[in-house]
Amino acid sequence: MTSDSTVMVLGEDVTAGGPFGLTKGLVDGHGPQRVRNTPISEGAVMGVAVGLALGGARPFVDLMFCDFMTAASDQLFNHAAKIHFMSGGNYSVPLAVWTIGGGGTRWGAQHSQRLDAWISGVPGIKMIAPASPKLAAAAVLEATADPDPVVVFADRALLYSRQDLPGDSGSPWRSRVVRTGSELTVAATGRLVHLALDAAAAIGASAEVVDVQRLAPLDVEPVVDSVTRTSRLLVLHDEAGPGALAATIAAMVQDVAFWELDAPIARLPSPATPVPAAASLEDAYALDADDVAGAMKRLLQA
Amino acid sequence: MATVTAVRTTELLERLLRARRFDEFLLANADAVRGHFHVSIGLEATAAALPRVRRASDLVTTTYRNHAHLAALGSDLTVMYAEIFGRDLGHQRGRAGSTHLSDPGVGMLHTSAMVSGGVPIALGQAHALTRSREGAVCFCFFGDGAFGEGAVHESLNLASLWRLPIVFVCENNAAAEADRANDYQSAASLLALAEAHAVHGTAVDARHPAAVLEALEALTGDVRDGSGPRFLDAQAGRWPGNATFFPHDATGPTDLRDAQGDADDAWRSTDDPLLNECRRLISTGFALDRMLDIDRRITAEVDDAVRRARLAPVAPPDTAFRDVVGS
């Protein structure tokens, strides 16, 4: 914001830092005109951001929870995503959206889901889901500098994590290998990257773990590359059921690497239910290290 | 009033004709259109008033019923037809079509086909104008149906809260009920809904273009002075063609001579803003023959535009896959 005066922050309580401290202190250096508190009007606010972007500003919208994407979706999906194309390439919509998704906080079905497949499935939107603090920071900078709408999707479970990953100095625009191995490949996003690393260590498997952090356009290249060496693939994703992005990742890999595989691609998405609130229920719902370790063992024996 | 100059000239008439003949020729050339389109017939008064109050740096958002705004603002008619006919010559190279017609050259960067879709975007554009261009405003056109969408109410509130330089123009052709704005609103009037968000404004009989111009000039002046957003409830009549999905022959091409004497239907006798403007000009001493001359000139221009657009090459198939993202 210091180097680019066109960058603006919009969101609920952003002058106070937002509910998670994302924008803390920004108003002190840049003032309430550039760090703007908005009413609880996600639809209109996303539209304001689209208009600002068309008018030469670079808006950064703190959408708080991805569940609120439903309210903002007309402007993000029907307008921001399509204007560059529909204008015949004449106009761009440089719009950054920060949002949080995923469970583990007992906040219930409307504050815990992930909507990765929905968001990433709309042409014209780019999406990064960082799994480490350094990549999250890099993703924010890249999203703000990009000519197109970019959604930075933060994992709720990693919000206060200080856990670095190997290769953190790389680009957030590429998926990446964070652990090398020879027996199987595990493709994961967000907190599941860390879970996969823990599970691999726990069972002593030679697992190659790929952090699939660029969700749109979906970057599976390092997964394909890895599978040609390991011949086995497990896809993890914190999204519900058969429509989860895990299905697309698996399909894209088998499109080009089917003959490299020694076993069917295994998928471990979240169950196809809304995310429950009670601790006992959410724990039963959420993928954990045991689930991942079990899936890895089954795949190694397949 | 500042409108004196305008009401003594044929400026409004010319813009009304440009819009009316554009849509009439489009209806006559509907065979060249794939997909649906909407015409502005009957709603042209607001569009005709706009160029008089719009400055070069002002922006405009409109709706899927956008032809009159573009035609009145002087957008190239051949390029407009080309976009509607799916030709590469269109401003958006055929990717937008009638419902998303826009032209950056007249301050219209994007047109939403979602009911109320352009309203919050207008706020953002107005906000951007405050950062760069003092006194510039954004004109935001939408229909009465948009009041069914939450985005309009959110936007009225936000525009008022932030005192954005925006002129909301509701092109309202819904029939009012005894105690309600229309069949789908519980509020007494659309103006009351705007006033609830402290967005002040006025209602005007939009069957009469000169009255619309006067109202729009006053409200736009307030907005330029920094008084915050304003709202115009432009109450138009209903063109009979809007009652059917195939409006081609609802009234036939407009005949300006109907402005003389007594027509026997509501459209020609009271509702048509074009005929009403002719009547006003006649009452101030203009000869009908002079208006017919203007009509012939504009009709020839429109005829030429539609012919040239029909001959323009279609959008090449491979361009369907370009420009999904900017980088």
Per residue in A208-219, pLDDT (tens digit) is 999 999 999 999
Name the token pair of B179. 């105690």
Residue A155: C-alpha distances to residues A34, A161, A192, A213, B191 (Å): 26, 10, 10, 11, 44
Please report the pLDDT score of residue B8 as a whole number: 72
**Which residues have a Cβ under 8 Å from the Cβ of A1 and sit 6 or more positions away?**
A7, A9, A26, A29, A30, A34
Please report the pLDDT score of residue B2 as a whole number: 44
Please report the pLDDT score of residue B234 as a whole number: 98
- Inter-chain touch A47–B125, beta carbons under 8 Å: no
Specify the fold of A7-158. Rossmann fold (3.40.50)
| CB proximity B158 to A under 8 Å | yes
**Domain boundaries in chain A?**
7-158, 176-301
- Inter-chain touch A78–B131, beta carbons under 8 Å: no
Question: Are B193 and B184 spatial neighbours (Cβ–Cβ below 8 Å)?
Answer: no
Residue B62: C-alpha distances to residues B30, B40, B171 (Å): 22, 12, 10
Please report the pLDDT score of residue A259 as a whole number: 97
Question: Are B326 and A86 spatial neighbours (Cβ–Cβ below 8 Å)?
Answer: no
Tell me the β-bridge partners of A155.
A101
In chain A, what residues touch B325 (CB-CB under 8 Å)? 84, 124, 126, 147-148
Class of B4-241+248-306 in CATH:
alpha beta
A238-253 confidence digits (pLDDT tens): 998 888 899 999 999 9
Please report the pLDDT score of residue B1 as a whole number: 40
d(CA B68, CA A190): 50
Please report the pLDDT score of residue B241 as a whole number: 86
d(CA A250, CA A236): 10
| CB proximity A83 to B under 8 Å | yes
B171-229 confidence digits (pLDDT tens): 999 988 889 999 999 999 999 999 999 999 999 999 999 999 999 999 999 999 999 99
**Which amino acid, residue B124?**
G
pLDDT band at B4 (very low <50, low <70, confident <90, very high): very low
B106-152 confidence digits (pLDDT tens): 999 999 999 999 999 999 999 999 988 889 999 999 999 999 999 99
Mean pLDDT calculated for residue range A13-40: 95
Residue B306: C-alpha distances to residues A105, B65, B79, B311 (Å): 61, 19, 9, 9
Closest-CA residue in chain B for A50? Answer: B121
The answer, yes or no, to whether residue B327 has pLDDT greater than 90, is no
A132-159 confidence digits (pLDDT tens): 999 999 999 999 999 999 999 999 999 9
Question: Are B277 and B271 spatial neighbours (Cβ–Cβ below 8 Å)?
Answer: no
| CB proximity A44 to B under 8 Å | yes
Please report the pLDDT score of residue B182 as a whole number: 93
In chain B, what residues touch A89 (CB-CB under 8 Å)? 93, 322-323, 326
Distance between the two ends of chain B, CA-based, in angstroms?
A: 51
Mean pLDDT, chain A, integer: 96
| CB proximity A74 to B under 8 Å | yes
In chain B, what residues touch A55 (CB-CB under 8 Å)? 59, 124-125, 127-129, 131-132
Please report the pLDDT score of residue A104 as a whole number: 85
Mean pLDDT, chain B, integer: 93
The answer, yes or no, to whether residue A183 has pLDDT greater than 80, is yes
Please report the pLDDT score of residue B165 as a whole number: 98
The answer, yes or no, to whether residue A270 has pLDDT greater than 70, is yes
Q: Check residues A196 and B183 and name the one with the higher pLDDT.
A: A196
Mutate to test the interface with B, among A76, A84, A87 (most CBs of B within 10 A): A87
- What is the nearest CA distance from A129 to chain B, expressed in angstroms? 19
DSSP A218: B
Task: Reply yes or no on domain A176-301 having CATH 3.90.180.10.
Answer: no
**Which amino acid, residue A253?**
V
Please report the pLDDT score of residue A50 as a whole number: 98
pLDDT band at B6 (very low <50, low <70, confident <90, very high): low
Q: Check residues B96 and B4 and name the one with the higher pLDDT.
A: B96
Residue A28: C-alpha distances to residues A1, A16, B279 (Å): 12, 10, 61
Strands A58-65 and A96-101: parallel
Residue in A46, A88, A146 nearest the CB of B323? A88
Residue in A41, A78, A92 nearest the CB of B117? A78
pLDDT band at B249 (very low <50, low <70, confident <90, very high): low
Please report the pLDDT score of residue A240 as a whole number: 87
| CB proximity B92 to A under 8 Å | yes
Domains A7-158 and A176-301 share a fold: yes
**Which residues have a Cβ under 8 Å from the Cβ of B190 and sit 6 or more positions away?**
B144, B147, B170, B172, B181, B203, B231, B233
> CB neighbours (10 Å) of residue B10?
18
Tell me the β-bridge partners of A187.
A210, A235
Residue A125: C-alpha distances to residues A71, A83, A87, A287, B326 (Å): 17, 11, 16, 28, 11
Strands A207-211 and A176-179: antiparallel
Closest-CA residue in chain B for A49? Answer: B124
d(CA B113, CA B64): 5
- What is the nearest CA distance from B158 to chain A, expressed in angstroms? 7
A101-137 confidence digits (pLDDT tens): 998 889 999 999 999 999 999 999 999 999 999 999 9
Question: Are A43 and A72 spatial neighbours (Cβ–Cβ below 8 Å)?
Answer: yes
**Which residues have a Cβ under 8 Å from the Cβ of A186 and sit 6 or more positions away?**
A196, A200, A207, A208, A209, A210, A233, A234, A235, A236, A292, A296
- Inter-chain touch B110–A55, beta carbons under 8 Å: no
Mean pLDDT calculated for residue range B81-87: 97
Pick the closest to residue B305 from B18, B38, B47, B12 (CA basis). B18
